[in-house]
């Protein structure tokens, strides 16, 4: 499991439990998860629906707090931060890529990509310069002023990836990033993830497609809120 022994860990989960209660009934979406992910790894999390992988994604992405347990992200304990502190962590350390792109429809590609920098307090000129460079890096240098609805699905997802990496986050979290794409666009997007990984970033994918998971070095299988299999390919 720990093939790259001694490498710095970007994510450490210790006995993380997430309980949802509905009226009197309650169930554990995450039921005591222990996990550590090294910096610079390319990981996929798989599992059927209801296995807790979405909850895992929310916890890892600091969109939600675990009910109990500890979570160190990039050396910082984030399990019991306030809402605003979590927002800052999301801004600085996490890049999100969603299945349905989640771009702001009224903004141009450039404005969408620059948005995280706004909340980081970066001056406007620098924001636009960096956003333009990020779009060029995903091959959309000629589309910077297009609105999302003027682009194809693959292009939109590339805008979303540019937005996710603009703040140079510690981890890149992608939730079914190819779920809404045709095969060809999906392959392009996966190549971009691979390239980002090549640059030394930590990339975590949540997917139920084995072909997508095949791009990654390590595959974590989940079922009923637990990690049931964790395989690392060399």
Partner 1 sequence: MVWESVLIALESLRVNKLRSILTMLGIIIGVGAVIAMVAIGLGVREKVKGSIAGLGSNLLIVTPGGVSPTGIRLAAGSGTRLTLDDVRAIQREVEGAIYVIPSVQRQYQLIAGNQNWTSSVEGTSPDWLGVRGFEVVSGAFFGSQDVDARARVAVIGQTVALNLFGEVDPVGLSIRIDKAPFKVIGVLGAKGQSATGSDQDDIVIIPVTTAMQRLQGVTYINRISIQAESETVLDQVQEDVTQLLRSRHRLSATMPDDFTVRNLSAIMEAAVETTNTITLLLGNIAAISLLVGGIGIMNIMLVSVTERTREIGIRKALGATYRSILLQFLIESIVIGVVGGSLGILLGIGASYVISYFSEWQTFIAPWSMLLAFSFSVGIGLVFGLYPARKAALLDPIEALRYE
**Binding residues for partner 1, per CB under 8 A?**
58, 61, 63-64, 83-84, 87-88, 90-92, 96, 98, 102-104, 106, 115-116, 118-121, 124, 163, 167
Output the smallest distance, CB 107 to partner 1, in A.
Answer: 9
Reduce the DSSP state of residue 137 to 3 states and report it: helix
Query: Residue 9 or residue 92: which is nearer to partner 1 going by CB?
Result: 92
Distance CA 232, CA 234 (A): 7
Please say whether the beta carbons of 3 and 232 come within 8 A: yes
Distance CA 77, CA 84 (A): 15
DSSP 105: T
Query: Residue 91 or residue 155: which is nearer to partner 1 going by CB?
Result: 91
Query: Residue 105 or residue 200: which is nearer to partner 1 going by CB?
Result: 105
| Residue in 9, 42, 22 with CA at minimum distance from that of residue 232 | 42
Query: Residue 58 or residue 178: which is nearer to partner 1 going by CB?
Result: 58
Quickly count: other Cβ atoms within 10 Å of residue 230's Cβ: 14
Beta bridge partners of 16: 33
Output the smallest distance, CB 80 to partner 1, in A.
Answer: 17
Please say whether the beta carbons of 144 and 108 come within 8 A: yes
Query: Residue 3 or residue 120: which is nearer to partner 1 going by CB?
Result: 120
Output the smallest distance, CB 160 to partner 1, in A.
Answer: 10
DSSP 138-149: TT-TT-TT--GG
| Residue in 152, 158, 116, 157 with CA at minimum distance from that of residue 135 | 158
Query: Residue 124 or residue 194: which is nearer to partner 1 going by CB?
Result: 124
Output the smallest distance, CB 182 to partner 1, in A.
Answer: 23
| End-to-end C-alpha distance for the chain, whole angstroms | 11
Output the smallest distance, CB 104 to partner 1, in A.
Answer: 6
Phi/psi of residue 204, nearest 5 degrees: -120, 120
Output the smallest distance, CB 27 to partner 1, in A.
Answer: 17
Query: Residue 9 or residue 208: which is nearer to partner 1 going by CB?
Result: 208
Could you tell me how far CA 202 lies from the centroid of its own chain? Answer: 9
Output the smallest distance, CB 229 to partner 1, in A.
Answer: 27
């Amino acid at each position: 499991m720990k093939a790259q022994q001694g490498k710095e860990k970007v994510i450490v989960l210790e006995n993380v439990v997430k309980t949802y209660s509905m009226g009197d009934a309650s169930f554990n979406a995450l039921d005591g998860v222990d996990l550590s992910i090294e910096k610079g790894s390319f990981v996929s999390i798989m599992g059927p629906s209801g296995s807790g992988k979405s909850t895992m994604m929310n916890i890892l992405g600091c969109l939600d707090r675990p009910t109990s347990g500890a979570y160190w992200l990039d050396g910082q304990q984030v399990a019991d931060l306030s809402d605003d502190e979590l927002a800052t962590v999301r801004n600085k350390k996490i890049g999100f890529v969603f299945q349905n792109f989640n771009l702001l429809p009224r903004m141009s590609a450039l404005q969408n990509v620059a948005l995280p920098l706004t909340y980081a307090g970066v001056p406007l000129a620098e924001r636009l310069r960096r956003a333009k460079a990020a779009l060029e890096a995903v091959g959309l240098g000629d589309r910077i002023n297009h609105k999302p609805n003027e682009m194809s699905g693959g292009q939109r997802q590339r805008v979303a990836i540019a937005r996710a990496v603009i703040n140079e986050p510690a981890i890149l979290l992608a939730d079914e990033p190819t779920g809404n794409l045709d095969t060809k666009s999906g392959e392009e997007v996966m190549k971009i993830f691979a390239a980002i990984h090549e640059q030394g970033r930590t990339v975590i994918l949540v997917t139920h497609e084995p072909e997508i998971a095949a791009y990654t070095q390590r595959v974590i299988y989940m079922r009923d809120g637990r990690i049931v299999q964790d395989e690392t390919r060399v």
